Each structure stands twice: as structure tokens, then as C-alpha cells.
Amino acid sequence: MKKALIWIVVILVVVAVWFFLAYKPAAEPDLTEEIALEALRPQLFADCLPGGMADTYRSCRVELFEESERRGWIVRITYDGLYDDSVQASRLEAYLTIQEGEWAVGDVIETTKCSAGRGHQDFSAELCA
């Protein structure tokens, strides 16, 4: 009786360990530049082309930062060399997460960097002169 009880406990422990090791929750997909640009398309003032867009901006850069604690991503899109007399660059930062299998856009912050002599030289929400 005692031996049978020990064997039952051993079997239960083995099954529990096997289940624990075998169970892997579905991994959340990594965010790619293409996915980020598509998700943020409504917020963008122009397509983000690394070589720029004639008469709009000279270059565009996309940066992705994983936020492990918050289980999401920060996306930073910077347009530089704007064809504007007062604004040198424009930046959009957004927080993206997976919700019900789809990428969802959270907080979005838009900032600008002024041209020389036209205001602040760091990215800020403050308007340029």
C-alpha cells in the first residue's frame, strides 16, 4: 500500500514536470519596421523613405525599442531635413502593443526640432518661430 502510494506520487510529479516543461505560451511576435509603419500610417504626414521624399524631407529613420516591462514597443520615426523654413526635423514616437492578436497604437507624441535661429534645437512640442 505504501509502495503504491509512493509510485502514484512519483507518477504525478513526473506528469506535472512534463506538463510544465512542455507548455509554452504563444510567443508574441516581434515588431518589424514594416509592421510599425503600417500601424502608424494614419499618424504619419508622409511615407518614411530612407532617401527622403522630394520637396518634403531629406531622410527618414525608424527606430524600434522593445519595452519588456510594459510588454510593448516604442516606435520612433524621425523625418530630417524638412523643406520648411522654420522646422528642421519632425519626430513621432508611439507605443505599440499586441491586443487580441493585432498591433494596437497607444500613446503618440509628436515633436519638432527648429531650424537654426528659429527656436529650440532639441525635439520638443514647443512651436518653432
- The grid coordinates of residue 19 equal 506538463
How far is Cα 99 from Cα 102, in angstroms, rounded to an integer?
5
Contact by Cβ (8 Å): 115, 86: yes
How far is Cα 123 from Cα 12, in angstroms, rounded to an integer?
60
What pLDDT, on the 0 to 100 scale, is given for residue 16?
66
pLDDT in tens, 65-103: 998 777 899 999 999 999 999 999 999 999 999 999 899
| Residue 34: its H or E element | helix 33-39
Please tell me which residue, 3 or 63, carries the higher pLDDT value: 63
pLDDT in tens, 7-57: 676 676 766 666 666 654 455 678 999 999 999 999 998 999 999 999 999
How far is Cα 88 from Cα 28, in angstroms, rounded to an integer?
37
Question: Please, what CATH class does the domain formed by 28-114 belong to?
Answer: alpha beta
- The pTM assigned to this predicted structure is 0.76
What pLDDT, on the 0 to 100 scale, is given for residue 5?
67
What pLDDT, on the 0 to 100 scale, is given for residue 24?
47
